[in-house]
Amino acid sequence: MALLAKGTWVVVMDEERAIILENTGTVDRPHLQEIDRIEAEPLAPYSDRPGRVYDMGKEQRSAMEQPDIDRIAGARLAAHVVAHLKQVAADRPLMITAPPQVLGAVRAELARQDALAGPTKLNLLGSFAKTLTGMPVAKLPPILQAALDEV
């Protein structure tokens, strides 16, 4: 059973923002304090009409799929957050919670940037697929401890 120890950093993120918190309390009475907030860069808007591709045959065209702006924004934010954490949070206990799609992008970035090995490795206690960015910070410790207990 892992505990939310003093000094543990918690990253709560979604497609739009990442909030980095630190437990300044004790194991029995955790108190999360905001350290940093990272906002996603706005993406250029796409046209309302999808593009067209000419198929083989006479007068045949197919519509192209619109890009998934939320997925692209989440992947860009994940890359930025992982790079930032490698600089400031090396060897600190770390938890990450994000929606499933964003968490997948974070895990891919951790592997791509080799963030869990080397001299500036991150000490990742766990990562959880939960959307908690809209929740008050005071209500997060019991949810995070319950998620750690499941590991």
Q: What is the pLDDT of residues 49-91, one digit of tens each?
A: 666 677 776 777 777 777 777 788 889 999 999 999 988 887 7
CA gap 126, 97 in Å, rounded: 8
pTM of the predicted protein model: 0.82
Burial call 43-63: b when 16+ CB within 10 Å, e when fewer: eeeeeeeeeeeeeeeeeeeee
Tell me if the domain spanning 9-41+70-150 has CATH number 3.30.420.60: yes
Report pLDDT digits (tens) over 19-39.
999 999 888 888 999 999 999
Q: Which residue has the higher pLDDT, 21 or 40?
A: 21
Task: Give, in degrees to the nearest 5, the angle at Cα 23 between 19 and 26.
Answer: 165
Residue with tokens 């979604």: 14
Q: What confidence tier does 47 reach under pLDDT thresholds 50, 70, 90?
A: low
Domain ranges of the chain: 9-41+70-150
